[in-house]
Structure 1
Amino acid sequence: MEKYTVRKYQESDYLLWNDFIHQAKNATFLFHRDFMEYHSNRFEDFSLMVFSDDKLMAVLPANKKGKEVHSHQGLSYGGLVVKKTLRIKEYVSVFQSVLYFLNENGFNVLNLKMLPKIYNQTIAEEIDYVSFLAYAETYRSDVYLVIDNNEKYKPNRNRKRALTLAENLNIGVKEDGNYKDFWNSILTPNLENRFGVKPVHSLEEMEKLALLFPKNIKLYNAYQDNELKAGVVMFLTDTVAHFQYSSGGNDRTDTAALDILFDYIIRKYSDKKYVSFGSSSENNGRVLNEGLAYWKESFGARTSVQNFIRFQTKNYPELTI
């Protein structure tokens, strides 16, 4: 086994970590320490850093629960983040070093909620090979609906009809800073009434994150005569414009406010490689929300998959190549 040094992230690593994230080939702003630590009280951080001598080769945003380590559960995705020039043999050895370190420290399992491949800066599928070598288990797959901007944007007949309705009703869209009204009058009531849950982020957390990452987090609201009808919170990376939250008022079907919001975003971010509508599966991926999937597909979105992978740390010898 090649010699790499693995250790836990420390507060003194803040600048080194963030600088590495900016240069990695499979990272987004969610891996910046400021984003990871806004909810540090909810998770016991166990992020790892992998060095060759004094050179940082990879990082793993993570937290621990009992004898298991998870790619950070406060993030939408994770995995081993690596520098752009890392070769496949090095990647396998780095990952082996991570599993060995975890095994030596009493952890039996590493669970990874993988970064969807649409976020990669370049081809970066080494994890698929490592999963095969280590006999890892894909224990969950979520269906993501995504628009590929290499293809012509072509909403179907139903969406075109809805867009015409919204235009006739003078529904207008604008970039907004009015998180409070969207959170309190539309998003939170909808989630509570339909699913019995609250948004993952509180209003205060989202406002804080939007201030910390103004280029990456934006709110767009739809209004009719100054009355808020719908809103979307976008998470923006180099390759993807992602709908993090989207919700409309009780009359959203009658006004088609969400339709015109989605259409506006798709056109605005046509310079991105992809526009992600997020997950359309439930029950840990076992149930497809057919209605939601159809609505997204009616804009021209197609399926991409986010995998959840479980590694047994004792299998680290399998990564000797």
Structure 2
Amino acid sequence: MSGALPVAIQVERYQPGHAAAWDALVAASVNGPFLFCRSYLDYHQDRFEDCSWLVWQGERLRAVFVAGRARTAADSATLVAHPGLAYGGLVTAGLAKTSDTLAWLDALRVAWRAAGFRQLLLKPVPRVFCRQPSDAVLFWLHQQGALLTGRELNSVIDLTQPFRIGTWRRGNLRKARHHGVAVACTAADADYAAFWELLTANLHHTHGRLPVHSLPEICRLRDQNPGHLELWVARLGAEVVGGVLVFQDVWQGFVHTQYIGGSPRGKQVGAVDAVLAELLRSKPAAFRRLSFGISTVQGALNPGLLNQKEGFGAAAETTDTYTLDL
């Protein structure tokens, strides 16, 4: 007796009418952080054209592919996953069989070519942001002849294992206690404004750039994604002298330090280290991993930044970019 025939794969471009099905898959996925929910993806639709895709088998949504292109992109034939995020790509409802993943990607490639795309620029979801990581997409990329065209270095702490804070960082923590630095989580708009002011000044002075998000954008994202954004600040008296804005996802199991900054006074008294130590103390109850973010710019290492993160016990993980001619 023959078995049932496999259900045909159907691929289609994302449309707003798919939002509920999309969000349900991301919420139950093994590798789709909250940033892939439509409430987050759609906030910058004025800058990026959504070019995401859905993979169906029968009436069942099996996977989605997070992608887009900048509205000012000179090369409209390049599909980027994702131009407005640090990563994108294939998200599966559960831990999919490798054979299914490869078949879905083959079907997507046919659809991309039919839509006029000639190149894929893919930044897969790093392992630290996945509930159950899988390298099936990387295997497919290798099979198709994709090139590794970018590699950045992230710093990650396994919160389920003991970790040791280094001597220099412990010295800063003693300094913070001596000066009476107080650390707290806050949702007050005034605290967000104070932190954004010192963060903007810090980034401009150190790197000559501004935060990726504006203050109104980050407050809107906080309100539209409750529980996923938290601001932790360090105070001297009533003054905010440092802080860390985290992105977090309980289901996927990670906390990520999206923005870190301190005022000149805050740096003198170890304010940022005090905040990071408090995160390491409080987060293991609900999260398994803490991501400190990358310490590289276009592959070039920032040794001082990396040293600070490794001083808290972080290990190195790569975040990669692949280019595939379609």
- TM-score interval, smaller chain: over 0.9
Helix, strand or coil for the counterpart of 1:197? coil
Please give the secondary structure, in 2, of the residue aligned with 1:150: coil
Q: Does 1:31 align with 2:39?
A: no
1:250 aligns with 2:255: no
TM-score normalised according to structure 1 size: 0.93
Deviations 1:99-130 (A, max 9, x none): 11111222111111121101111132211211
Selected match of 1:221 from 210, 233, 239: 233
1:248-275 deviations in Å (ceiling 9; x for gaps) = 0012331100110111111111232111
Any idea what SS the aligned residue of 1:44 has?
strand
Q: 1:236 aligns with which of 233, 236, 248?
A: 248
In the alignment, is residue 202 of structure 1 matched against residue 214 of structure 2? yes
Q: State the 1:202 CA deviation.
A: 0.6
- Pairs within 5 Å for 1:12-161: 12-64=17-69, 65=73, 66-161=76-171
Q: Is this contact kept in 2: 1:166–1:257, CA < 8 A?
A: yes
Q: Among residues 190, 196, 201, which one is paired with 2:202 in the alignment?
A: 190
Aligned counterpart, 2:302: 289
Structure 2 residues without counterparts, runs of 5 or longer: 1-5
1:85–1:171: structure 2 CA closer, same or farther, 3 Å change rule? closer
Residue identity opposite 1:190 in structure 2 = N
Match of 2:282 in 1: 268
Q: Mark the CA change 1:85 to 1:295 in structure 2 (over 3 Å): closer, same or farther.
A: closer
SS in 1 for 2:45: helix
Worse overlay, 161-170 or 141-150 = 141-150
SS of 1:75's equivalent? coil
Instruction: State the alpha-carbon separation in 2 of the partners of residues 158 and 190 from structure 1.
Output: 22
Cα contact 1:2–1:93 (8 A) shared by 2: no
Query: In the TM superposition, what is the alpha-carbon distance from 1:50 to its structure 2 partner?
Result: 1.0
Count of paired positions: 310
User: What whole-Å deviation, never above 9, does each CA across 1:67-119 have from its counterpart, x for those lacking one?
Assistant: 00011211222111112142111100000111111112221111111211011
Q: Percent identity?
A: 28
Q: Which residue of 2 aligns with 1:317?
A: none
Tell me the distance in 2 between the aligned counterparts of 1:293 and 1:85.
33
Q: Is the 8 A contact 2:156 2:315 kept in 1?
A: yes
> What is the distance in 2 between the residues matched to 1:260 and 1:108?
49
Q: Name the SS for the 1:251 alignment partner.
A: helix
3-state SS of paired residue (1:122): coil
TM-score of the aligned structures, taking structure 2 as reference length: 0.92
- 2:178 is aligned to 168
RMSD over equivalenced CA pairs, Å: 1.4
What are the Cα deviations for residues 136-157 of structure 1, in whole angstroms up to 9, with x where unaligned? 1111011001111232121011
Cα distance in 1, alignment partners of residues 318 and 183 from structure 2: 30
Q: What amino acid is the match of 1:251?
A: R
Name which of structure 1's ranges 106-115 and 30-39 shifts more when overlaid on structure 2: 106-115
Aligned residue number for residue 316 of structure 1: none
2-structure distance, mates of 1:118, 1:39: 24
List 4+ stretches of structure 1 deviating above 6 A: none
Name 1:311's counterpart in structure 2: 324
Moved more, 142-151 or 33-42: 142-151
SS state of the match for residue 275, structure 1? strand
Where 2:284 maps in the other structure, the secondary structure is: coil
SS in 2 for 1:223: strand
Structure 2 equivalent of residue 279 of structure 1: 294
3-state SS of paired residue (1:41): coil
**Residue 311 (structure 1) shift:** 1.7
Q: Could you give the per-residue CA deviations for residues 207-239 of structure 1, whole angstroms, max 9, x where no partner exists?
A: 011111121100011001111110110101131
Q: How far is the alpha carbon of 1:2 from its aligned partner?
A: 8.4
In structure 1, the gaps of 5 or more residues are 314-321
